[in-house]
Structure 1
Amino acid sequence: MSKTNANICVLGFDISNQMEKLYAIVLICDGKLISKIENGGLEKIIRLAWDYNVKKVATDNIFELAPNVRELKRIISLFPENTEFIQVNLNDEGFEDFRGILKKSGISTFNLTPQKTAYYLAYLAYTGYGTSLIKKQIRTKIIVRKNRSYGPGGMSNNRYKRKVRVTILQITNDIKDVLDKNNFDYELLYRKSGAGIDGAIFTVYTPRSSLIGLIKPRQGTSVSIEIKNDLVISFAFKKEKKEDKPIIVGIDPGLNFGIAILDIEGNLLYLGTKRSGDREEIIELIQSYGSPVIIAADVKPVPDTVKKIASKFNAELFIPEESLSVEVKREMAFNALSGTSDISLDSHMRDAYSAAYNAFKTLSKKLKEVDEYLLRTGLSLSSRKIKQEVIKGKAVSDAIEEELKRILSMERENKVIIDYKAGARDLEKKLNEELEKIKKENILLKAKINKLYEELKNKDKEIKLAKKNVQLVNINSSIERTMSVLKESISELNKQLEAKNLDIKMLEERVKEYEDILDKLVKGEYIPVPIVSSLTKSNLNKLLEYNVNLIYVENPDSYQSDIGILLKNKNIRGILISYQYSENSGIYNLLKENGIPVVSIFEYDYKKIKDIIIIERKVLDKIKEAEEKLKEIEKVKEIEKFEKIFNEYREKRRKDR
C-alpha cells in the first residue's frame, strides 16, 4: 500500500528493551498490516507517524515514551498535529486490565510478547477501543524584543537603550491595536523599564494563518518581531472530581504569574509563582482547588489578564480602592504568613497573596456576621453557602433566606440534609440520630392520624344522631363539610407519613453502608489510609504527628526534592496513588533512593471518606513485594559497588608490582 493512498493508519508500540529504550512497533493502515519492527527507537516511531500520516498512536502505558509529563509533552510535540494518542486500557470507568480486554475480544493471551502486544494495541485502537489522552490547542506567539547588538558607535549606551525600549513600546501598542481591531482573544505580557518596555510577548488564541497580512515578522537593527505557532499540549487523564468549594484568588500577572488561593475562611490553600505561565495554565491550576467567587488584584486599574480570568469563572472582580503600596503588601504578607516557615516569598507571590488577603479582609466583617447569626440562632445551615452568596453581594439576611429556601426545596424532593462529620463512626452516629428523630416524628404522626380517625367516628355518630333528631338541611350540610375537611387532613398526613418512611429507608441504607465499612475495618479486611493532595512538608507535618505508615497522594507530580528523607525518617512504608506510574518518573526515583515504594490502587477495592481512603488490606502485600524488590535492587548496587572497589584495588596492586 502506498503512503499517500492509506486512509486511516494506526501505530501500536510496546517497550521491548527497557535499558536501551527500544520498542516493538506495528503499523496498520485500513486494517492491513503494513510494517512490524521488533526493536526500534523512538525516532522510528516519529518518522513512521509522519511518513504515513498516522491518525492514532496506541499504547497501554503512555509513560513508556517518557518518564515524566514535561518530557512527554516535548516528545508529543514532534508528532503530526492531527495524531491522537490512545490509551487502549482506559475507558470512562478507569483503567482496565489489558489481558482482560484481549480475553473479552476473543484474543488469546498465551505467550504475549511485546510484538504481539503492539499489534493488538494497534488493532484494538483501530476498532475504536481506548481513550484519547492528549488535548492540543494551536495558538500564536508574537515576541517583540531587542536585538543583541546595541547599535552604532558614538551614541551613549544609556540613550540608545532608552530609544530601543520606547521603540519596543510603540511596536507593542501597534500590534495591540491590530489585535483589538480584529477582535482576537490574546494575552499580553511585558516588563516595564523607565519610559518604555524591555520586551513583550503576545499569546494569541488563534492559528498563525489567521494573522497573515495583519502582523508581519521583522528583523531590524535594534528591535525584532518573531511570530510562531505555539502548540499547547494537555492530558485528558480522568480525575476524580473534587468538591467544588468556593475560593478567593489573588493574581499578580506578568512574565511570571503570582497566584494565591484562599478558602472563604481566609486559610491559604496555594501560593506560588508560574514562570512564563499563560492564561489557560493558570485557569487549570485554579480549577484544581475549587470554584472562584472572587478574583482579586493588588493594583488599580485592574490588568486585563485578571479581568479575563474573572470573566472565565463568572467570579466577582475585587478592585482595591487604590493600589496597595509595597510597604502595605510586605506588612500584610508578613503578618499573615509569619508562622509558615516553609514558604519563601518572591515579589509575585507577595503581591498575589496581598490581593487575595485584602479582598478577604474587606469582606471578613460580613462573613463574621454569618457565623455570629448562626451561632446566636442555632440554625443548622451551611455557613459556606451563605458566605458564598454574601461575597457575591447579597445581604446576610437575604443569603440566609436563600439557603432556607434551598433546603425547603430539597425537603420537598424527599432529600435529607446531613451535616457530615469527620470519620465513618461520627457519620454513622449522626445518621442514627437523624433516623431516631424521624422515627419519633412517625410515632407522633400515627398518633395524630389515630386521633383524627376517632374524631371522624364521633362525627359519624353526630351525623346519625342529627339525621334522627334534626330535619334542618343546613346542619347536615355543615357536618358533611367538616367531614370533608377531616378526610383531607388525614390524606395530607398519610402523604407526610409516606415521605418520612422514604427518609427512613434512605437513612437505613446509608447506615448499612457505613456499618459494612466499619465491619471490614474491625475484621481487618480493610485499612484506613490518610490522604494528602501533594508531597510537601506542610501537608505531611500534620499527618506525621500520628502513627501512620502509608499515605495516599492525589497529585504525585507535585513534591519537594527532600521529601524522601522526611518520609524515611518517619518510617513511611509506601505511597499509594490512583493510577499506573512510570518506574522512571521523578517521584518514583526520589522515593526509590529512600527505599519507599510507590503503588497504584486502581486494581483494589477502596472508598474515599473525607480525608481518608478505606482500602483492601491486601494492598499491604503489594507494598511488601515492592519493598523486597527495592531491597534486591539496593543489594545489587552494593555488590556492584564492592566489585568496583575490589577491581580498582586489584588493578592498583597489579600496577604497583
Structure 2
Amino acid sequence: MLILILGIDVIGENPKRFAVVSWYNGRLERKGEFTLYRLIRFIRAKRPEIVAIDSVTELGDDLRKFLRALPPGTKLVQVTGRPGEQRSLQSLAKEHGITTGDRFDPYEEAKLSALLASKGVGYEVLAFEDEVIVKVTRGRSHGKGGWSQDRYRKRVHNLVRDKVREIEDRLRRADIPFDLETEEKDYGLARGEFRIYASREELAGIVRPMRGGDVEVRIQPIERAELGFAPLKGEEAVRERRSVIVGIDPGITVGIAVIDLNGNVVALHSERNMPVGEVFRFISEIGHPVVVATDVSPAPGFVEKIARSFKANLFVPRESLRVEEKNELLRSLGIKVDDDHQRDALAAAYKAYLRLKPKLEHVEAKLREAGLLRKADEVKALVIQGYNLGEAMQKVTRRERPAEEASEPEGGESVDVRPYVRKIRELEERIAFLERENEELRGIIREQRRTIERLERKIADYDEEVRKKVLRERELEAKVKRIEILEKQLREAKAVIERLSRDLVKVKRMNVVEVRGSAVPLKVLRVLSWRELERIEREVGLRKGDVLFVVNPAGAGKAIAEELVEKGIRALITEKPLPEPVREVLREAHIPFFTSEELDVKRVDEFAVVERETLEKAIEELLKRWAEEDREREAEKFLRLVEEYRIERIRELRRKAEEELEAEKRKRQGL
C-alpha cells in the first residue's frame, strides 16, 4: 500500500514557518518552507496518512486549529513519545538504525520525524472523541409568503425527514451505534440531530456533509477537553505501559473488567451512560489492552470500537456465554462483583485469558530459560499481538542496551563554531539583499496600484456611458413594444367598430321597415326550452298573435309545443328543422311553422324581422294547403266509412239469406 508521511519542524516565528520533508514509500523529498496557512492547504491537497512532528508544543496556540484542519484519515503524530515521557529525536533515530545529521537543521529534524513515523514510532495526537454530532436541517430560510411558501416549507421538512431516515438506515446497516433527536413539523422534520458513537474516519462514505441545497447536513466531531495520545504501534504501548486484558459489557450501564497477563484482576468498574471517551480514558489510565473481550457472539459494535481504538486483538467466544458459565468463571477467580455488568465484563476478560493461558505459560517458560523473566509481560504482549517468540525476545533485548549507547555523549571534543559564524554572516547579507529587493518591489506595487486606480476610474466612466446607452436602448425598445401593442389594439377596435356599424345599418333598416308596417318583428329565442320561454315572457312578454323565432329548436318536446299552442302564437320560425313531436302538435293546432330560409328572416343578435307580405302569404298558403289536406283526409275517411258500411251490409244480407235458406230446408224436411 502506498503511504505518504510528512515530517515537519518549525523554522521560525512571526509568521510561523515550517520545514517540510515527505516520505513516500521509502523515498524522501524536501518540500520546502511553508507558512501555517500554506501547510494546511498542502496537507488538505496531498492527504498524507501521517503528519509527524517532534513535539506538538511547537504549534503553540495553533495546535487545536491545526488538528481541526486535518482531513479525515490524516494523523498528527508526536514521534518523541507522550508528554512527560519524551525522548530526543537523535536517540530514537539511533535506536531504530537511522543516520542523523545536523541537529540544528529544521529539515533534518523533519526528515527524522518522517522516518521514525514510517517505522511506527510515536504517539497519535487525539483531539476528538470517538463521537460525532451530525445535524440535519433546512438549507435555506423559508422567509415570508403565502400558500406557495407554505408548500415550499412543507416540502423542505419532508426532505429533512427523508434525509434523516436515509442516514438512520445507513448507520443501522453499518452497525454503528447512535442516538437520535428530532423536531417534528408539518408532518415532516424541522431538524434531526444524531450523536454517533464512531470516529470521523469510520463515518467516511456513510454520512457525507451537504451544503447549498434545501437540506443541510453538518458533521461536527466532539473535541476532547484534553488532548490524548495513543501509540502508533502496539509494541510502543507495550514498552511504555502495563499490558492488560480488558472485558467490556456494553449497554446503558457499561461494565469494565481489567486483568493482567498473569490472570490477576486489576480493576472492576461499572457506570451508567458512560461515553466512549470515558471508557477509553479509564482503560488508558490502567494500562494498554492487548486483548479486548466480550461475552457475546457476535461482538457488539461498541466493543469493536474500543478494540480498534487501542489497536488490540478482539476476543469473541464461539457462542455467547451462559449465566451459569459466567458464575463458574467468577467462582474460580474467587472474586465478588457489584452487579451483573461487572460480572459479564470479568467473565469475558477471564475467558480470553484462559484461551491464551497455554501460550503465555509457554512464553514464560522460555523466558525463564533465557533469563528474561523480568520482561515477561512485554514479551507476552508482543506474542499476543502476532510476533513469534524469537522476534519478541529480540525486540526486548535490543531495548536492553545500555543507556549511554542510545543517548548523546555529554562530553567530547569542543565544537568548531567558525562555520556557523560564516553561515550567520551569509544569512545576514542575504537578509539585507532581500530587504532591498522587498523595498523595490513595494515601490513597484505602489506604482501598479496608482495605475490600477486610474484604469478603474476610466472603466467607471466608460461603464456610466454604457449604462446610459443601455438605458436609452431599453427605453426605446419599451416604446416600440408599446406602439406595437397599441397598433394591435387599434386594429381590433376598428374591426369591432366595422362589425357594429354593419349591425347598426341592419337595425336601422329593420326599424324603418317596422315603422312603415311592412315588416313583422319577431321575438327571438336562442333555444326552444322552458327557461328561454320564461325569459321572453319576463323581458318582453308573450302575447296572443306573436310570431316567434327560434335559433335552435333541437331537443324540444310535445309539452312545450302544447304550451305555445295555449299561448296562442300566430306562427313559429326556426333556423333549423323542428323536432317531429313539435311539428305534429303545431300541425294539429293549425299554427304555421317555417324555416328562416323560407321567409328570408333578417336578424341582428336579439332582433329579427320578416317582411309582412311574405309572412302573410306564407301563412295563407300553408293554411290553405293544410285545409286541402284536411278535406282530402276527411273525404278519405268518409269513403272509408262508406266502404266499411257496404262490406258490413253485404255480410249481414248474406247471413240473413243463408238463415232463410236453412229455414226453408228444415221446413221441407218436416213435410
Output the TM-score relative to the length of structure 2: 0.33
- Indicate the structure with greater helix content: 2
Output the TM-score relative to the length of structure 1: 0.33
